[in-house]
Chains A and B, each alone.
Chain A
């Protein structure tokens, strides 16, 4: 019928957007109604208690109410569609909430220690076991963490990128087992990396615990992360760039060195920084390789050198007798989380561009070069 009179009816613009005011209002209404109902049942009527249980109950009531509202508004097919979108959406929000909860908890609880500047500028050398927070800090652990991470990056990034180039550029029958093992190693218990360095270097070869040992253990956990991320980036370098280089008579190694690696530069940098962010917080590998010390040791090659995760482990889990111990642990966790966030922000900032895409500064430089006669 509509078709017959179609030319007379003014055309209505079709909305392609999935969100409408009505839809948003329904979700918000269900959320509020669920909150009120859960509060009434949970706190007043039924013998429940506990914050976690409250929000679990709230979520269940919310989904049920929303399903009822959606069913009242439209047919079954659309109602199911809307309920599933809301359920999936909450999972995305949950991931965000976990990140915020864990990071902000560490920052909040750590502030008590970090707000004293002495916590960041002194080591524990002069502090006894039961002394308050005002004595001693985590300088030695920060220095250790940074040096060990630097060394581990030095070991793992070249090897990881070379392995990624092997997977993406050389190929052959070996690529399949290597790729499988790399993927399997990304989820390998980090404890095993520590045990490996411990059995190989410390028990079998007679090295003593030092920052170098930690760096080696961290490298074992970082290599597969770098390799996997770098392979993905190298693969998206357009094949035409590669072919252009070969057509100009470039050898394979010239192609990789002058075309592929520069094109993938920002992606490789992101892979590196992400692996650093993962490596910096590894605790299990350092338990057996670092050696606990209260003193500042700037030489990673000899002598025990502590780092932030081990510092937290020691003051919270091993000692953990007085509030100051826990405060120290949280202070070190604050520093650790801030370092991870900084590394992560750097990774996101350099990772924004596709292969071959130039940053603003590079474009300006090119422009200047071209303007020159």
Chain B
């Protein structure tokens, strides 16, 4: 306003540079403050989770000390509780899940982004979203009642023919309860394969597929059009184009997506605690054998059956899980965001 009144009366022209940045008005400053605090709230929630889990697990760490990480006993409140068996089992299930979900999710992402006809693309993306939205407890029921009775045939084939691979080794085969059939044609009692980490891993993999598929697809679809056309112009087949343009472009994104999937698999609770029977307290690296445990299953099954000290033990295990998954996921999301050009994100 002051500028508008001056030109006629001012005797000398003032050549001072004009302000080119606008000062936000008072209402805008309030508005930006509100939005900023909403953004900060997300950070605060994550921080609060960390703080409160730490506060609650201090008694456990004080009582157990370093043994918390080295003992595999699960005797609560008795200074005999550790995650030495729970954590490896959690990781084992997550790795089985990833071994299935990575190829399946990656192939689905390539199909949706590169091969599917235009008319099929949106429905397939919707299917992936739906797969992510189906409750984990529905997967758990499906795994427990549909998949589990159908596993022993395959599992026993793996145990008998691939038993030389350590993880498929099946030591229970010799135990009297599991050996059935004649001396000449020995076979394994199907009941011995029930409730294994192998089955839990398969069910968890179904929940990881949509994470890997939809994140990888988003990265693939950003592969530069010019380079795709260049590959075709050089006479490449579609697979040649995917192999030389899309996959190298999306490599970081795929790695990040798989890490996010790993985080999701480590934290899966319901399916794991439904399927793993009986819950064990020792590391079992033979994936076909019934029985197993995980941090999540232990917490979900046991949190309310113990005293304050026992609860603190379990919350400490939860803290380890939280720190681990937060670390993996944060690295993953940094990797993914690096792989995208700037902040450009894509619809649907």
Contact = CB atoms under 8 A, between A and B. Distances in A.
Contacts of A348: 126
B42 to A, nearest CB: 5
Interface stretch (A31-39, A133-141, A181-189, A361-369): A181-189
Interface residues of B, number: 110
A232 B346 contact: yes
Given A180-B330, A187-B264, A50 B153 contact: yes
B164 interface: no
Given A167-B39, A195-B315, A204-B52, A187 B325 contact: yes
A23 to B, nearest CB: 13
A317 B32 contact: no
Nearest to A341: B130
A163 B38 contact: yes
A232 B218 CA distance: 12
Contacts of B268: 189
A317 B151 contact: no
A189 B39 contact: no
Contacts of B34: 162
A170 B35 contact: yes
Interface stretch (A3-11, A91-99, A117-125, A296-304): A91-99
Contacts of B108: 88, 91-92, 94-95
Contacts of B126: 344, 348
Contacts of A53: 153-154, 157
A319 to B, nearest CB: 13
B49 A284 contact: no
A167 B40 CA distance: 11
Contacts of B139: 102
Contacts of B138: 102-103, 106, 281, 333, 336-337
Nearest to A107: B138
With a 10 A CB-CB cut-off, give which of A78, A165, A283, A336 has the most chain B CB atoms.
A283
Interface string B46-90: 101100110110000000000000000000000000000000000
Interface string A37-81: 000000000011111110010000000000000000000011011
A191 interface: yes
A183 B345 contact: no
Contacts of A111: none
Interface string B236-248: 0111101000000
B69 to A, nearest CB: 19
Interface residues of A, number: 109
B132 interface: yes
A138 to B, nearest CB: 13
B239 A99 contact: no
Nearest to A167: B39
B10 interface: no
A180 B239 contact: no
Given A170-B35, A195-B299, A102 B142 contact: yes
B24 interface: yes
A350 to B, nearest CB: 13
With a 10 A CB-CB cut-off, give which of B35, B274, B322 has the most chain A CB atoms.
B35
Given A195-B318, A283-B269, A51 B150 contact: yes
A223 to B, nearest CB: 7
B174 interface: no
B127 A50 contact: no
Contact of B263 (A98, A167, A172, A188): A188
Contact of A191 (B43, B206, B296): B296
Interface string A334-368: 00110010011000100100100000000000000
Interface string B111-138: 1101110000000101111111111111
A326 to B, nearest CB: 8
B42 A96 contact: no
Given A109-B145, A181-B42, A166 B239 contact: no
B153 A251 contact: no
Given A80-B239, A313-B270, A333-B138, A95 B213 contact: yes
Contacts of B260: 183, 186-187
B330 A192 contact: no
Given A187-B263, A189-B266, A252 B24 contact: yes
Interface of B: 24-25, 27-28, 30-32, 34-36, 38-43, 45-46, 48-49, 52-53, 55-56, 103-108, 110-112, 114-116, 124, 126-139, 141-142, 144-147, 150-154, 156-157, 185, 206, 209-211, 213, 237-240, 242, 260-261, 263-264, 266-270, 273-274, 296, 299-300, 303-304, 315, 318, 321-322, 325-326, 329-330, 332-334, 336-337, 343-348
26 contacts: A56-B154, A80-B239, A92-B124, A95-B213, A98-B206, A102-B138, A103-B134, A109-B141, A162-B39, A181-B43, A183-B333, A184-B332, A187-B260, A189-B269, A196-B52, A199-B55, A227-B42, A253-B28, A253-B31, A278-B132, A278-B133, A283-B136, A283-B270, A284-B136, A316-B144, A340-B135
Interface of A: 18, 47-53, 56, 77-78, 80-81, 84-85, 87-92, 94-96, 98-99, 101-103, 105-106, 109, 159, 162-163, 165-167, 169-170, 172, 174-193, 195-196, 198-200, 203-204, 220, 223-224, 227, 231-233, 235-236, 251-253, 256, 267, 274, 277-278, 280-284, 287-288, 309, 312-313, 316-317, 326, 329-330, 333, 336-337, 340, 343-344, 348, 351, 354
Task: Enumerate the 7 nearest inter-chain pairs by beta-carbon distance, A residue then B residue, closest first.
Answer: A50-B153, A189-B267, A281-B135, A91-B107, A162-B38, A183-B333, A184-B329
